[in-house]
Structure 1
Amino acid sequence: MLKKNYNTNFKIGSLFDGIGVFPLSASRFGINPIWASEIEKAPISITKRHFPDMLHLGDITKIDGGKIPPVHIITFGSPCQNLSNIGKREGLTGSQSSLFYHAIRIIEEMRCATNGAYPIIAVWENVMGAFSSNNRLDFKAVLESFTNTEIPMPTSGVWAKAGMVRGNEIDVCWRVLDARYWGNPTLPQRRRRIFLVADFRGKRAKEILFKTRELQSFPASGRESRPTSTAASRRSSEKARRKIPVVRPFQERRMRSTAKDKNKSGFIGSFGRTNDPFPTLLAGSVNNFSFWYEGKENEGYIRQLTPLECERLMGLPEGWTAIGNKGEVISDYARYKAIGNAIAVPCAEYIMAGIAENL
């Protein structure tokens, strides 16, 4: 594992902050969280608990980027509802996803107020639907917003899962990261997201986003490390006298659509197979799975993931969403929603490690 000690003077601001995944990941690599913008009550309280010194700016539409503390890095996972393949697909013109342009405005205002000194790096995260919404023109608009130059459509008419463009001395790279392949151990959740890095001062975006690197191992709890899921499973098997556990997550969206279409084979397939990853955790969905010991199917059962298990699937420290900044207990409903809207921690850590190395 990488043992490098990160000690930087870099500062980060987080727009559409949610439960503070970008600040959490940044702080692990010596980058100091300075401010955040979020409007949801429970996520704000959760983030305040973990980052009591961080300034909260509130509604992004009311922020003037030239009047807030300048930072080296601005991160934002703008609302995906109008870009997602499961929504109405209004794209960047939709009431929620159009807030992307407020983040771009804030970046431009800060750069104008600091004569181009801040921010140095911007990081954007969003769903795969951003590649295809609005007849694939939305992602073109995203690239043009960062580079302030016209970007041609790819000759194939389809955006690649990874790429780079350059305009007006601004380097922009993007890449699809799937949470199931990240973390230590890897996270058994299928969560494919676009991550874009813009470098306003050089040509380091490709080093940040494409370079292979190993990450430090961080404890799952703020107090002590717990065994990795592999080790924990091994111990559980030993305690169960070598009985082999079988976990099969349900593909809930597929289950509903195939039932509606009366597609019997598709419906049966939605019950999942052994070692299938969990489907993407979503803010408004219930994630169920079946469990039994091999040869004991009749003793198996079906249940819903707990908020703690959802935190583990996202790579969050255990209990990250359980308590607010005033000691109040966060409801399960609010935790499920906040976690479903969050970013997978190992993916964010990979990018923050690259920023710490290359700046």
Structure 2
Amino acid sequence: MSALRLGSLFDGIGVFPLAASHCGIVPVWASEIAKAPVSITKRHFPDMLHLGDITQIDGGKIPPVDIVTFGSPCQNLSQIGNRTGLAGSKSGLFYQAMRIIEEMRNATDNRYPAFAVWENVAGAFSSNDRLDFAAVLRAFTDTEVPVPDSGIWAHAGMVRGGRADTAWRLMDAQYWGEPALSQRRRRVFVVADFAGGRAAEVLFKPRGMFPFPASCGESRLPAAAGDRIPAFEAGRQIPVVLPFQLRRMRSMAKRGDQRGFRACFGKNGEPFPTLLASVGQPFAFWYEGKEQDGFVRDLTPLECERLMGLPEGWTAYGCKGEKVSSHARCFALGNAIALPCAEYIMAGIAEVMR
């Protein structure tokens, strides 16, 4: 059979296309308007079409694809956003993606796309008095989906019947990958199957994880595993890294809550808080037994790439070989999707469609 094809809306730095390509799925086109992410993605996928502004795309006139992925803007859904939800100017672009999917299906006699995948922050469960997530499910299924009697959306579930068999799952990056990523990153993934009843098989079936990409150095370990070996294997003292909960720190300081402020200091072995586009992520660093020589600094773009499970240097250069600024790299990575989570879903779709 011919290769499966993918289109990526709100593409960012091409994480869904990268995950898809690892599963033998061909990335055909992407839509993104931010300059640096577009250039980064063009460097890695030079043959992929770039469609620009999502509001200007006619889904019936672009190349049809088997899978459409989209992580629509989260600003109005996030707990740290303004919580205007899907009525907000940014998060409301979700409906532009649904329009494009519907236009493509109408133009292809409902053959394409067979699957759609939506990703967003955990705040999508609670925004607009929990009605926004019901609206998301209704948009995929074309069926009225009530808020649960408990008033709380489960972290995993499904809706059978309607236009698309639909399942959702809250996935935390710290539990994904081999070894698991050291970042607490909770994201909602919704998988909609327009061609059958396979959404649950994609989203809930256990399957092996892909190995992390190799480091750029010839003799180094895979990037995401580089700091996880015992001291006796390293042949030297190893670093102690304690990340801070910076956003909560600021909140506690503003309230004058000393106990809450102290609780924001990291503990040994804790994962990093969620990488954010808006702020850096500080942490304390020293070598074992030498706390007095420690210091505090922010994560580098390379370290952010590792925490997302991405190949080292993924965001370092644009399509013309130009260097991307550290600020632009960290901003783009804070908005990105953890690669192991995307790979798990892409592998599931490839499995059921073949």
TM band (smaller chain)? over 0.9
Paired with 1:11 and 1:104, the residues of 2 have a C-alpha distance of 18
Preserved CA contact (<8 Å) 1:8 1:31: no
Deviation at 1:277, TM superposition (A): 0.5
- Residue number in structure 1 paired with 2:90: 96
Inter-partner Cα distance in structure 1 for 2:301 and 2:340:
18
Corresponding residue to 1:306 among 300, 303, 315: 300
SS at match of 1:198: strand
Secondary structure in structure 1 of the residue aligned to 2:81 = coil
Q: Distance in 2 between matches of 1:220 and 1:169?
A: 41
Q: Following the alignment from structure 1 to structure 2, what is the Cα–Cα distance between the partners of residues 217 and 273?
A: 28
Amino acid at match of 2:39: S
Runs of at least 5 residues in structure 1 that lack an aligned partner in the other structure: 1-6
| Pairing of 1:78-93 with structure 2 (within 5 A) | 78-93=72-87
**1: CA distance between counterparts of 2:2 and 2:25?**
6
Alignment of 1:62-73 (within 5 A): 62-73=56-67
- Pick from 160, 169, 172 the counterpart of residue 175 of structure 1: 169
Q: 1:9 and 2:13 equivalent?
A: no
2:272 is the alignment partner of 1:272: no
SS of the residue corresponding to residue 163 of structure 1 reads strand
Which residue matches 1:234? Answer: 229
More displaced, 96-105 or 291-300?
291-300
**1:92-131 counterparts in 2 under 5 A?**
92-131=86-125
Alpha-carbon separation, structure 2, partners of 1:303 and 1:254: 17
1:3 corresponding residue in structure 2 = none
Q: Whole-Å Cα distance in 2 between the matches of residues 230 and 347 of structure 1? A: 17
- The question of 1:137 aligning with 2:125 is answered no
Equivalent position SS for 1:194: strand
Residues 215, 353 of structure 1: 8 Å contact kept: no
Contact 1:8-1:356 within 8 A present in 2 as well: no
Q: Contact 2:13–2:41 (CA<8 Å) still a contact in 1?
A: yes
Please give the alpha-carbon distance, in whole angstroms, between the structure 2 residues aligned to 1:223 and 1:262. Answer: 46
Please report how far the alpha carbon of residue 235 of structure 1 lies from its aligned counterpart in structure 2 after TM superposition.
Answer: 6.8
Identity of aligned residues (%): 67
CA displacement at 1:275 relative to structure 2: 0.6
Structure 2 counterpart of 1:49, one-letter code: R
Counterpart-to-counterpart distance in 2, 1:154 and 1:266: 33
**What do the CA deviations read for 1:308-331 (whole angstroms, capped 9, x no partner)?**
000000001000000000110000
The Cα shift of 1:19 comes to: 0.2
Pairwise mapping of residues 189-268 of structure 1 onto structure 2 (< 5 A)?
A: 189-221=183-215, 226-228=220-222, 230=225, 232-234=227-229, 241=236, 243-268=237-262
User: Contact 1:220–1:316 (CA<8 Å) still a contact in 2?
Assistant: no
The Cα shift of 1:295 comes to: 2.7
Q: What residue ranges of structure 2 are gaps of 5+ in the alignment?
A: none
8-17 or 56-65: bigger deviation: 8-17
Write the distance in 2 (CA, Å) between the matches of 1:277 and 1:218.
Answer: 18
Deviations 1:281-323 (A, max 9, x none): 0001111110123332111111111000000000010000000
Change over 3 Å in CA distance of 1:224–1:53 after alignment to 2: farther
Q: Which moved more, 1:100-109 or 1:293-302?
A: 293-302
- Which residue of 2 is the match for residue 4 of structure 1? none
Give the Cα–Cα distance (whole angstroms) in 2 for the partners of residues 298 and 95 of structure 1.
48
Equivalent residue for 1:323, pick from 300, 317, 320: 317
Q: What is the RMSD of the two structures over their aligned residues, measured on CA atoms?
A: 1.7
Q: For the residues of structure 2 that align with 1:321 and 1:357, how far apart are their CA atoms?
A: 29
CA, structure 1 residues 117+224, in 2 after alignment: closer, same or farther (shift >3 Å)? farther
Is the alpha carbon distance of 1:244 and 1:162 closer, same or farther for their aligned partners in structure 2, counting shifts above 3 Å?
Answer: same
TM-aligned CA distance change 1:139 to 1:274, over 3 Å? same
Do 1:237 and 1:244's aligned partners in 2 also have CA atoms closer than 8 Å? Answer: no
**Structure 1 residues 230, 71: CA separation in 2 closer, same or farther (over 3 Å shift)?**
closer
